Structure 1
């Protein structure tokens, strides 16, 4: 029952339904809803709907996807149009992430060795924090 309510309220928030619209859709979907049950749903959505909607907005804003794969390679810059010092090593990272819709995104970027070392340090710190959650 809890899962049904969560799904119903998330769907109502996603579709920006008012309490009246939610009750109307529930009535259309099934004739088994009692008047008292529909009144409870109306009251719950009236009281908590804005909170559910705000939570979904925050979740959508903060969701960046999930890292699926990380590849890296070490390279040496031998020529460039705007580079002052050639023959400097760099690390090229290729990240593959999947978003909430299931689409896979590829992002690549280059870093100097000190930047990569800092990135590695920050990644280890994030991993340690995630293990405590």
Structure 2
């Protein structure tokens, strides 16, 4: 993306952020910082959107997504570089001259309070950069056609897992197992749970 287009894009996002009251901006940032500190499983844009609507702020879906993405990347980058509140504000001002002072004060205050915790969480995630299981569902079915089953009309278990990737994106993985495979899978999960209770 050319520098002029990138600058226009950032200025547009900053304009939209400036439409938010300091309290509303702080609330949205708090959602993002809570996620970056490892206290929630993801950033719920729908909840942020509902809050904006209740406060009378009307933004298109894409504009809201851009605000959330921008704040997420800003805080993630500040955590990675272990920036102070002053350094964060300086970088934001270098990126756009459209910032309102009240918005920068909110970001400075929140980053000063939570930045060290975000940085620590990112260091832990870097060491353990794997996805996190959010939800798992299974159902029993009957095979009527299959490449792997020797005989049709044999039972199988279909498993659907929802996983939060290190980026924060929630993805779904599905697979099928025979009943004996699922029983072994279940046994291993129980053994893992027993071990984790002793930690």
Task: Report the TM-score, using the length of structure 2 for normalisation.
Answer: 0.38
The residue aligned with 2:156 is 90
* 8 A Cα contact 2:157 2:182, kept in partner: yes
Unaligned stretches of 5+ in structure 1?
1-10, 16-21, 30-55
CA–CA separation in structure 2 for the residues paired with 1:100 and 1:79? 37
1:103 aligns to 2:162 (yes or no): no
1:41-120 matches, within 5 Å, as 60=126, 62-81=128-147, 83-120=149-186
Cα RMSD after superposing both structures: 3.6
CA 1:83/1:60 → structure 2, altered by over 3 Å: closer, same or farther? Answer: same
CA distance in 1, matches of 2:147, 2:165: 35
User: Taking structure 1 as the reference length, what is the TM-score of the superposition?
Assistant: 0.54
Alpha-carbon spacing, 1:78–1:98, altered in 2? closer, same or farther (3 Å): same
Structure 1 segment 7-22 matched on structure 2, within 5 A: none
Return the structure number with greater helix share: 2
Contact 2:125 2:166 in 1 (8 A): no
Q: Give the gaps of 5 or more residues in structure 2.
A: 1-76, 88-122
Give the Cα–Cα distance (whole angstroms) in 1 for the partners of residues 191 and 148 of structure 2.
Answer: 34
Higher strand share: 1
CA-CA distance at 1:100 after TM superposition: 2.2
Distance 1:116 1:82, change over 3 A: closer
Partner SS state of residue 64, structure 1 = coil
Quote how far apart the aligned CAs of 1:64 are. 1.9
Residue by residue, what CA displacement relative to the aligned partner does 1:57-100 show, whole Å, maximum 9, x if unpaired? x9546432211111111000012355421111000000001122
Specify which structure has the bigger relative contact order, considering alpha-carbon pairs within 8 angstroms and separated by 6 or more residues. Answer: 2
